[in-house]
């Protein structure tokens, strides 16, 4: 597994300032939690917390379990999510995790439907809200 220089530098900096028992977490679906974990001596205490945008509206929170994430770290992340009023789901490391992979297909189908719709209908029905209404929140 290739670990970028920036991941290694950021992880080294965090390890120097974080308490020994601290959990390291990332909030993005673009960074690989396993790569972040590989750049730190705390791989078992590394997890992803993928909040959906806008975080104050969206209740779903993907808790991303890396290959070396410990059961205690995973349980702690799940408890934190619940304390924040989120609905946590466990995801493995993969492109887009769960929500973005589903949303991508939803948008693909919505775009296909809109291409087939007569122009006067494009401002009505599912084209006036649905995928596009949700997409503007991102």
C-alpha 87/C-alpha 33 separation (Å) is 20
DSSP 13-60: HHHHHS-TTPPEEE--SSS-HHHHHHTSTTGGGEEEEEEPSSTTT--E
Residue where the block lists tokens 């946590």: 88
Residue of 42, 45, 50, 86 marked catalytic: 50
Specify whether 136 is catalytic.
no
Give catalytic residues, as residue numbers: 50
């Amino acid at each position: 597994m290739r670990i970028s220089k920036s991941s290694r530098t950021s992880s080294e900096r965090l390890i120097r300032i974080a308490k020994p028992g601290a959990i390291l977490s990332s909030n993005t679906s673009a960074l690989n939690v396993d790569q972040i974990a590989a750049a730190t001596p705390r791989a078992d205490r590394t997890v992803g917390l993928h909040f959906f945008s806008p975080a104050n509206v969206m209740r779903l929170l993907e808790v991303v379990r890396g290959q070396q994430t410990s059961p205690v770290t995973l349980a702690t992340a799940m408890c934190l999510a619940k304390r924040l009023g989120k609905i946590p789901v466990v995801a493995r490391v993969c492109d887009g995790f769960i929500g973005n992979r589903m949303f991508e297909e939803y948008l693909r189908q919505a775009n296909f439907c809109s291409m087939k719709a007569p122009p006067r209908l494009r401002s009505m029905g599912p084209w006036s809200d649905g995928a596009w209404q949700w997409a503007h929140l991102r």
